Amino acid sequence: MTRRYFGTDGIRGQVGSGVINPEFVLKLGWAAGKVFAKSGRSKLIIGKDTRISGYMFESALEAGLVAAGVDVGMLGPMPTPAIAYLTRTFHAQAGIVISASHNPYHDNGIKFFSSLGSKLADDIELEIERQLDLPMTTVKSSELGKVIRIDDAAGRYIEFCKGTLPSGFNLRGLKIVVDCAHGATYHVAPSVLDELGAEVIAMGVSPDGLNINEGVGSTQPGALQERVLAEQADLGIAFDGDGDRLVFVDINGEVLDGDELLYVIAQDKIRTTGACSGVVGTLMSNLGFELALEEIEVPFVRAKVGDRYVNELMQSRGWQLGGENSGHIICADVTTTGDGLVAALKVLHAIVDGGVSLDQLKTNMQKFPQIMINVPIQNRAALEGNGDIDRAVSAAEGKLAGRGRVLLRPSGTEPVVRVMVEGEDEQLVNQLAGDIAAVVERAVA
């Protein structure tokens, strides 16, 4: 059965457009409640990022769940990975996240975690969609769900994050700028770093509902680069709006993306345990990353883009490390989903325990020039079997002569197709990406 609402990362869109409206979210809460209530009295928890529409959708979900006879725990603003962790901690049947991650404030979305803190199984998502087709009913008053506010959620998650490090580990002597994108990590990330002994300079920690991801965060690290240099800090860390992605900035103001951070963590695994079983990347992972892992004899495979696919391939291989160049990193030895703060602590462990600066840790990995152009598209079918696009891609691959890659990929979260070209010659890469993007634009016009 084809999904009508759920994508690779839940349901997402512009507020007030399509299904991202209070009426649908009320029905979605009820439908999810009916599915999880089939096994008896159930409890779900709800968390959100800091965008203004979160209040509206939080109330709608709460009402729908209560009408279905499900108890609800309200977490308030919390990072997405924290909600995955707390779902397990509170033995809830599921966790619900209200967030559009790195998107602007006018977008929002809903995604679910299972009782194990992982993405919902396909059959459960499909069952929720089936329930959405049924008339909404309300259980008897004596069976209505109850709602509580969970006040210690942030403290629990902070202790969990610190607990992923070896006993006695500290960050004393490090000066760190942390950029929370005016998002869900604003009240936890600075606290974790401070409690571990770092000198913390916090930015992007004044959410007003409208400024999430605006000019700050992992998708726009320029402000962090400037601040690291101005403060003469040892490094900087930027999270996205919901805290499941990150980038680092080294002492020289240079950005390290997800590929480079995965390489740092893999090296540290080898240093501390003697081996790294393997790393799962994606179709977007840099070729230089793959070659660098080959040099240190770490197996590498590519999954489709999306943390769901990375996680599935990690599980099938029995590997503990994987992620995307966007900074979505899964450390399966300590958690079940991509967690920006946990990944940041893994990198900091490599720096402090290994006694090597961040800029030195990345020196053995040389990224190939990679350009990505987002082409707006409303009709994905226009891409399929298009001869002009196929010929443009074939011509570009011929010019790269086996020392690069071309990838066209419709986004799972935005109405764009991503045109990516990678190779040794930056000028050629830019030219080829522009040529293909122009053909795509004409094809979908």
Active site residues: 101
Query: HSE on the CB side for 195, CA within 13 Å?
Result: 15
Cα gap 122→117, rounded to integer Å:
15
β-bridge partners, 289: none
Within a 10 A sphere around the Cβ of 262, how many other Cβ atoms?
Answer: 32
β-bridge partners, 421: 371, 406
Cα gap 90→292, rounded to integer Å:
41
Is residue 205 helix, strand or coil? coil
Cβ contacts of residue 73 below 8 Å, gap of 6+?
Answer: 43, 44, 45, 46, 90, 92, 147, 148, 149, 150
**What token pair was written down for 289?**
């990353």
Within a 10 A sphere around the Cβ of 94, how many other Cβ atoms?
Answer: 22
Cα gap 65→34, rounded to integer Å:
8
Distance linking the first and last C-alpha atoms of the chain = 31
Tell me how many degrees the CA angle 76-77-81 measures, rounded to the nearest 5.
110
β-bridge partners, 268: none
Q: Where are the alpha helices (DSSP H) in 275-386?
A: 287-295, 307-317, 340-354, 358-361
